[in-house]
Amino acid sequence: MTRQIGVTELALRDAHQSLMATRMAIEDMVDACADIDKAGFWSVECWGGATFDSCIRFLNEDPWERLRTFRKLMPNSRLQMLLRGQNLLGYRHYADDVVDHFVDKAAENGMDVFRVFDALNDPRNLERAMAAVHKTGKHAQGTICYTTSPLHTVDWYVQRARQLRDIGAQSLALKDMAALLKPAPAYDIVKAIKAEMPDMQINIHCHATTGVTLVSLMKAIEAGADVVDTAISSMSLGPGHNPTESLQEMLEGTDYAADLDKALLRKVRDHFATVKPKYAQFMSAFTVDTDIFDSQIPGGMISNMESQLKQQGAGDKLREVLAEVPNVRKASGYPPLVTPSSQIVGTQAVFNVLMGKYKVMTGEFADLMLGYYGECIGERNPEVVAIAQAQAKKDPITVRPADLIPPEWSKLVEDASKLDGFDGTDEDVLTYAMFPGVAPGFFSARDDGPTNVGKSAEQLKAEADAASGAANAVRGPIKYKVSFGGREHSVQVEMA
């Protein structure tokens, strides 16, 4: 008996977010949509915080219109989004009424599957969003961010799965944003969750950064995983994801299969292979890096810390800072290192090395220690909590952070209404609520229509020609006709 494995295609969201700084314009996606729609995916991930942000910040594109476009072009697909729990797509906790409005509007505009997560894995930060999804009748997927620490045991993952089921998760996602998930724990965690809840659908999301995670997907599938995330090969690997086609081929001859249409996959691949060079300026040459297994620190975080240190003339302290990160992480109760906790922990580690342990805390780190982001898995160091309390002049909290936020929808409507270009819709209110610093500029420029920050084939060719011509021109010898003073002269120029 061959068990069918579902596949979530990431090309339209996480793949270009990971590979080309989320810069892909809708016009470079639309021609692939019909093929993606028919290829047989379990779902098509196409929306999330960074894509929303990038739309209004860089592409002068309405992210709600993008969603409606996908809905129209992929009528047979489950459209999937990544939702940062009580943060929605923004960088703060929102009041519950905003959460409700956001989920309603996303569902209304065409979203089917809401993958809801929280950077600290605090289920209280997922609760409201999950409940809101339920009310719309759409699919609420509860997410556990994968990380490692002495407390992140298999039992802990099972317990967290239980909690997510209890708040209404219709499926569970294990989200491995740092490519930390090795084959053995992938197998053990999925096996243990399935042993307790055999009917719960389990989705596995791994990046490819460390080079091991296609094997982890294989072992997760062997343990019972139902759906895995991949990206079409021309949009895969590096800091992105494992190739869709390789996943399908990998399963051939095993007890599992991914029923995708190979001819359509080829068309999708060829489409993005053509599009990709346009965004070369946003891509890094990164291929594979296993350092994170020892440092626990994502590559992007290390480069952030390096530049912080250099600005302080302390570029030689990187090793000390790297050694301090695990201490700060332990003191704060072992948060996963993912946006925003990675920046918060990393910056505090820099401060600790430069100025002495917790002599100066960032406001964000104090908030983390005082519970304003939610609960972590481990106990927070009481001494450090006390310092945070003294420095931030705030009391620690134990309630769900959003419980302290009064309803704010009416105020957001009022504020958004004053903006030039505001179109009066709830969608615009939500855009403003998510990115209040960026939305006003977008609203006022929206009528200009979307821009494409990639380079057209003509531009790329002209640039290549110019560079090659330029190189030749500099080498010479080249003869010029130079006219001045009414007379024409013949001049030969050659590199000395």
Contacts with a second copy by CB under 8 A lie at: 182-185, 188, 210-212, 214-215, 218-219, 233-234, 236-237, 242-243, 245-246, 248-250, 252-254, 262, 266, 287-291, 293-294, 466-467, 469-471, 473-475, 482, 484-485, 489-491
CB of 251 to a second copy, least distance (A): 8
Sign of torsion over alpha carbons 167, 49, 288, 222: positive
For a second copy, give the closer residue by CB, 212 or 337: 212
For a second copy, give the closer residue by CB, 91 or 480: 480
Sign of torsion over alpha carbons 193, 194, 196, 201: positive
Burial 29-41 (b: 16+ CB within 10 A, else e): beebbbbbbebbb
For a second copy, give the closer residue by CB, 246 or 389: 246
Residues sharing a CB contact under 8 Å with residue 320, sequence separation 6 or more, in sequence order: 353
CB of 490 to a second copy, least distance (A): 8
Task: Give the position of tokens 């072009």.
Answer: 73
Rounded Cα gap, residues 207 and 216, in angstroms: 11
H or E element: which one contains 103? helix 96-108
For a second copy, give the closer residue by CB, 82 or 181: 181
Rounded Cα gap, residues 46 and 168, in angstroms: 23
CB of 36 to a second copy, least distance (A): 17
For a second copy, give the closer residue by CB, 246 or 339: 246
CB of 288 to a second copy, least distance (A): 5
Residues sharing a CB contact under 8 Å with residue 174, sequence separation 6 or more, in sequence order: 143, 144, 146, 157, 181, 186, 189, 190, 202, 203, 204, 205, 220
CB of 83 to a second copy, least distance (A): 30
What φ, ψ does residue 191 adopt, rounded to 5°?
Answer: -60, -45
CB of 421 to a second copy, least distance (A): 35
For a second copy, give the closer residue by CB, 211 or 340: 211
